[in-house]
Structure 1
Amino acid sequence: MTTMSIVVTGATGQLGRLTVEALLRRGVPAADIIATGRDVVRIKDLADRGVTVRRADFADADGLVEAFAGADRLLLVSASVPVGERVANHRRVIDAAVSAGVSLVAYTSTTHADTATTVLGATHRETEEYLRERGVPGVLLRNSWYLENYTSQLPQILRSGAVVGAAREGRISAASRADYAEAAAVVLATEGHTGAVYELGGDESFTLAELATAISAASGKRIAHSDLPVTDLDQVLASAGLPAELAGVLADADRGMSLGEMYTDSGDLRRLIGRPPVTLAEALAVALPRH
C-alpha cells in the first residue's frame, strides 16, 4: 500500500468518482487522495470525508499545475468533451503532471488503441504517444466498452423491442465502470505497474445479437437485434436526439466493434481486481429487478 499522494482527474464524473471510492475501500488514507474536477461542488461530500478536493479544468494549463501540486501519481480519466478537443486537453494534463513532478501517470485508454481504426481510438492513440514523448512513467488502462452503455439504454430497448447497432458479429468485452475503476485503484495504490499496457475487459464477451438474447432472458420480453449499416445507425442516433458529432462517434465505435476492436481475452482485468469481473447477465439482473 502506498502512502504517496494520488490525484484523480474527472472525479466529478462517473469513472473518476468510482476510482476515488475504490481507493478509499482499499485503505488509501483520504488525506492521500486529491480528487479533481471542474465543478467541485459535486464532490463536496468527498471533502467532508477528508479527501483533498481541487478544481481542475482541462482547458486551464496553469490551474492544472496547481491542482496537481504535491501529487506522486495521477489518473488521467480520458475527457468526454467534444472529441476534437480531447487530445489537446489530455496533453495539457500530461504537461501539468510533468511540471508538478508527478512520478506516474495512469491513463484510461481503449482496447487496442495502437491499432484501433475508430475516431475515439485515434484520440487515445495520440494521447498514449504523447505520454511516451514526454517521458513520463506511465500505465495504459485500455478499457473496453462499459456494460452501462447498454444497461442505460434498457428503457428504450424494451420500449422498441430491439437492440439496434452496426457491430455485425463483432465480440464486445464489456465490463462495468466499477470494475474498471477498481483496476485503476489497484494500479495507483500498488507497485509494479510502471510501463504496463493492460487490455481490460470482461471475461465473457458478447455480440449485439447475444446482447438482445440476454435482455430477452432477463426481461421476459422478446428483444430483436437489428444490424444496420454504419451510416444508417448514425442517422438513427441523430434522429433520437443525440448531437451530430456524438452520433457519428458512436456509430463509428460500432464499426470498430465489428472489426474486433472492443474484444480482448487478456484476462488483465480479472488479474488486477483479483476476481471475475461483473458479467452481462449480472449487470442486467441488477438493472432489471424482477418483481
Structure 2
Amino acid sequence: MIIVTGATGKLGAQVVERLLDRVPASRVGVSVRDVSRAEALAGKGVRVRRGDFAEPGSLAGAFEGASAVLVVSAGTTGPEAVQQHVTAIDAARAAGAERVFYTSHQGAAAGSLFEPMPDHAATEEYLARTGTFTSLRNGFYASTVPQLLGQALTTGELVAPADGPVSWTAHADLAEAAAVLLAGEERFDGPTPPLTAPEAFDLGDVAAQLTEITGRTIRRVVVEDEEWTASLVRHGVPEAQATLLLGMFHASRRGEFATTGDQLEKLIGRPTTPLRSILEAASESAH
C-alpha cells in the first residue's frame, strides 16, 4: 500500500488525486491529523487513518502495511521539524516500507540562508542512513508569489527587499510528479534532480508581467530589509516569522533558488504551469 501523509494539505491532497489516476484506490492510504477532512477520499475507497508526526504512537496504525510512504514535510521549522520528519521516517521503516519519499526542496543545504533549507538537508541526511529513499527536490512553490505582492495590484508598487531569481513551480505540477514516482512509473534513488519550472524570475520580472497582464504600470520598489520586516510586524506578523521570511530574500539574492531544469517536465510529460498563469489568477481575484 502507498501511504500519503498530509493528504488534506495543499500538496498532499493533489498528490492523492493524481495518484488515484494511476493506481486503484485500494492501494492508496492516507495519514491525516483530522480524518473528518478526508471523508471524500474514504468515499472513493482510499484507506483513511489518523496519524500525526508529533504523536509517534499514532503512526503505526496509519502506516500499517505500507510498501511506500510519502512524508510531506512538516509545517514548522528547526529541530522540531527535523524531529517530526525523523519520527515519520522511523515509523515508515517500522511498518515495512521499502521506500520512503520525502518532499524536500531545490535549495536544500546545510548552509542555506533560508531557515527551512537546513531542515530539509538534515532530513535527507537521516533518510540516507535508513534505507532506500527518494527525496523530491521540489521547486519553490509559485503560490508564494501572490503573497509577496502586498498591495501592488492596488498601489501599482511591488514593495519588497532586494531579491534574486527563483524558479517558481506550481503545486499541481509537483503533485503530479510525486504521483508518477509513487506509482513506480519512474524511479530516482536518493535526491531527485531539481524539480522546477524551466525559467527563473525575480520580483522585477513579476512586476513586468503584472504590468502586461493588468495594463497598469506595476513598479518594483526595493526597500531595506529592516524597513520591510518592521512593516510586517506592524501589520501583525510575529517577529520570528518576519525574520524567517526575510531569509528567503537573502537566500534568493545568493542564487539558492535560481536553478532550473527540464526533469519536472519530463516526469509529467507536459510543459509546467507558467508563472504568468498564477499571476493572472491573482490579478482576477483582486478585482
TM-score for the superposition, normalised by structure 2: 0.92
For residues 42-61 of structure 1, what are the structure 2 equivalents within 5 Å? 42-61=37-56
Partner of 1:187: 181
Alpha-carbon distance in 1 for matches of 2:118, 2:259: 18
Instruction: Identify the range of structure 1 (153-162 vs 29-38) with the bigger mean alpha-carbon deviation.
Output: 153-162
1:117 to 113, 117, 121: 113
How much identity, in percent, do the aligned residues show?
A: 38
Assess if the C-alpha contact under 8 Å between 1:166 and 1:258 holds in 2: no
Q: What residue is the counterpart of 1:173 in the other structure?
A: 167
Which string of whole-angstrom CA distances, capped at 9 and with x for unpartnered residues, describes residues 157-211 of structure 1? Answer: 313432233343x111001111111111111112432334231211121111101
How far 1:133 moved relative to its partner? 2.1
1:32-85 deviation line (CA, Å, top 9, x unaligned): 111121112111111111111111111111211221110111111111135452
3-state DSSP class of the match of 1:250?
helix
Secondary structure at the counterpart of residue 277 of structure 1:
coil
Kindly indicate whether the alpha-carbon contact (under 8 Å) linking 2:150 and 2:158 is maintained by their aligned counterparts in 1. Answer: no
Q: 1:238 to 1:268 in 2, by over 3 A?
A: farther
1:230 aligned residue (189, 214, 225): 225
Match of 1:66 in 2: 61
Shift of 1:249: 1.3
Alpha carbons 1:141, 1:197 under 8 Å: kept? yes
Q: Which of the numbers 5, 10, 17 marks the counterpart of 1:14?
A: 10
Equivalent position amino acid for 1:132 in 2 = A
- Residue 215 of structure 1 and its aligned partner are, at CA, apart by 1.4
Shift of 1:253: 1.0
Residues 140-159 of structure 1 correspond to what in structure 2 (within 5 A)?
140-152=135-147, 156-159=151-154
- The count of corresponding residues between Structure 1 and Structure 2 is 284
Given that 2:153 and 2:283 are in contact with CA atoms closer than 8 Å, whether structure 1 keeps it comes out as: no
* Cα contact 1:37–1:55 (8 A) shared by 2: yes
C-alpha separation in 1, matches of 2:258 and 2:210: 20
Q: CA deviation at 1:263?
A: 1.5
C-alpha distance in 2 between matches for 1:154 and 1:265: 23
After TM superposition, give the deviation of residue 286 of structure 1 in Å: 3.4
50 and 126 in structure 1: CA distance in 2 versus 1, 3 angstrom threshold: same
Letter in 2 for 1:176: A
Equivalent residue in structure 2 for 1:97, among 89, 92, 95: 92
Structure 1 vs Structure 2 CA RMSD: 2.0
When residues 164 and 200 of structure 1 are mapped into structure 2, their CA distance, relative to the original with a 3 A threshold, is: farther
Deviates most, 188-197 or 264-273: 188-197
- Please state whether the residue corresponding to 1:200 is helix, strand or coil: coil
Gaps in structure 1 of 5+ consecutive residues: none
2:280 corresponds to 1:285: yes
**Preserved CA contact (<8 Å) 1:113 1:121:** yes
Answer yes or no: is the 8 Å Cα contact 2:69–2:100 preserved in 1: yes
1:201 to 193, 196, 201: 196
2-structure distance, mates of 1:252, 1:229: 13
TM-score by length of 1: 0.91
Deviates more, 1:256-265 or 1:147-156: 147-156
| Alpha carbons 2:101, 2:136 under 8 Å: kept | yes
